[in-house]
Structure 1
Amino acid sequence: MKSISFFMKEAIGMLPSALLFIGSILFIGAGIFCIAEPAESLLAVGYYIGFVLVLGGVCQILRWMKTEGAGRSLWHLLMAVLDTAFGLWMMISLAFAVVAFMLPLLFALYILLRGIFMMILRSRKQASLRNPGLYMVAAVVQILLGLLLVFRPDAAGLLFMYMVGAALIWSGISTFLTWRKDGMDA
């Protein structure tokens, strides 16, 4: 007969995978909300995305800590820290509510940095990545979206929310595919 501690160890071992799945669903949900309600969602979605980024960043940090050997990359950790820090700032900063009009520019910088980190990660770890093509496509899309918003912050409104929604849905799908692949490898 197996002890309770055995089952607790099993449950704790599955936690990063479950959080990865939950994070993917939240990314997709945030993306759909941005596209469905662009005019009303700018401020509200900022807090929601902050929560999703913190959850996703924590999941990525847990996964990074669990990974050993060649699969463990400083770039994965940097992306996780970036997600967590930006998400926390969005959730707790009073300045965020005051400067909501700057949200498109801040997201542009975030998306641009994340795309650059993904491109560097892909170029350095191509052989060990499960889907290097998916990383490159996601990186290029994020860099292009980031650059577009940096150079055209006046086009924020609907276009901004549609692009944020598309990027979140893309991130959610790729996170879900990673979760699914991890489950098949287990």
Structure 2
Amino acid sequence: MKTSLKLIELVRDKGEDIAGNWARDVRKNAKTPFYHDLPDEKILPQAIHFYEHLLKIVNLDDPFAGARDYFPGYAERLYRDGVPLNEAVYALVLMRRHIWLYAEFQVTFITAIERNQAVESLLRTTLIFDYIMYFVTETYETLLKRQAAPKRTTRKKGDYVIPWSSWASLWGEGRDKKEEAFHNLNDPAR
């Protein structure tokens, strides 16, 4: 274990406790109303799996690639479950915060050296959470664009579609001018 990642070791050892604290908080936080009525069986696995994957990527040489492998799928699950983007991102903020709250409550960093290690841990976990938030928001944006894309309808041979402008010209503004122009063409006396 890298000594600077003592915080991550705490997540490995106490991840379920941290996830439980997060679940209680996300359920009552005013910024996450989607979670308020969800049962533990739905909320806890989200945080537990999140922390497990965080542990897998934290020591990688390229944590960006590690985050890219898992967290777009994580975002898709949240999107399919109907979690609004702002609440999904704030839930991530709370997950990060609860790691630190648990560490402070357990007095994990006592000496000056451990405080330096805490700063290193903070920088590393903040970087990884930034990557995660990038992939979550990017995935949501892709899914929202896909949902908003116009649905193409297939037309059968023989279907006739009259553009709205044609209907409007027949029954709306400009009808008299078009009739007059038509009569001028067909009336040689004018």
TM-score range, shorter chain: under 0.3
Name the larger-Rg structure: 2
For normalisation by structure 1, the TM-score amounts to: 0.28
